[in-house]
Amino acid sequence: DVKVTQSSRYLVKRTGEKVFLECVQDMDHENMFWYRQDPGLGLRLIYFSYDVKMKEKGDIPEGYSVSREKKERFSLILESASTNQTSMYLCASSSLAGGPSYEQFFGPGTRLTVL
Amino acid sequence: QKEVEQDPGPLSVPEGAIVSLNCTYSNSAFQYFMWYRQYSRKGPELLMYTYSSGNKEDGRFTAQVDKSSKYISLFIRDSQPSDSATYLCAMSRGYGQNFVFGPGTRLSVLP
């Protein structure tokens, strides 16, 4: 069964803290993605990766960085958390061999609150 | 103007009703169109996808794409309380291209 897991369901951090969000997939997928989901704005792509040690900026990369040292793991880093980064963060993965649907499989999300 | 627009709802219907969910978009380059369903406290999961214009049916669900009007729809027949979720449309310019998601429509099907 396809599985994408995220390290925390809920996280509360203080302004200025460094925050790590971890995502692991067990499907040997090449592609991994980080989105944030906000009411009225939908899912917005932060960063994605097509291969180990490779990363590409999405639509809203400012204030974030990522790391992909192993194929199954993709980390999102908030170098200095700010209150406007309070959001639901969703990780997804997909396979280049997934066919025309190019289906992305999502984790359950991490709800991050920055105080 | 947002690239993909979707009525956020919430939309409440009685069990058994036909539900119509819609998205409009501005980028004529979109070729792949998808509908994701997201239950509360879960990640989205793919419900249906279509390529270019036309209809696609899967059980109680029908997806329609009208590229000339830049309009896509998802119809749910004989809606069930278990269909209560947020429905997100998504689209991409081509195979392997990143998705652009709509903001989602929250649907409640009342027993």
Answer whether A42 sits within 8 Å of B103, measured CB to CB.
yes
Q: Do B43 and A42 touch (CB under 8 A)?
A: no
Could you list the pLDDT tens digit for every one of the 111 residues in chain B? 678 999 878 899 999 999 999 999 999 999 889 999 999 989 999 999 888 888 899 999 999 999 999 999 999 999 999 999 999 999 988 766 788 999 999 999 999
At residue A85, the pLDDT reads: 98
Top residue of A30, A35, A37, A43 to mutate, by most chain B CBs within 10 Å, is: A43
Cβ–Cβ gap A102/B95 under 8 Å: yes
- pLDDT (tens digit per residue) in A48-70: 998 898 899 999 999 999 999 99
pLDDT at residue number B95: 66
Model pLDDT, residue B9: 81
Q: In chain A, which residues have their Cβ closer than 8 Å to the Cβ of B102?
A: 42
What is the rounded distance in angstroms from the CA atom of residue A84 to the CA atom of residue B18? 39
Q: Which residues of A touch B39 (CB under 8 A)?
A: none
B90 contact residues in A (CB cutoff 8 A): 43
Instruction: Determine the pLDDT at residue A97.
Output: 63
Q: What angle do CA B17, B6, B86 make, to 5 degrees?
A: 55
Nearest to B23 by CA among B10, B38, B11, B33: B33
Residues of chain A with pLDDT under 70: 1-2, 97-102
DSSP per residue, B31-48: -EEEEEEE-TTS--EEEE
Give the integer Cα–Cα distance in Å for A52 and A56. Answer: 12
Round to whole Å and give the CA distance between A35 and A43: 6
Nearest to A90 among B43, B90, B103 (CB): B43
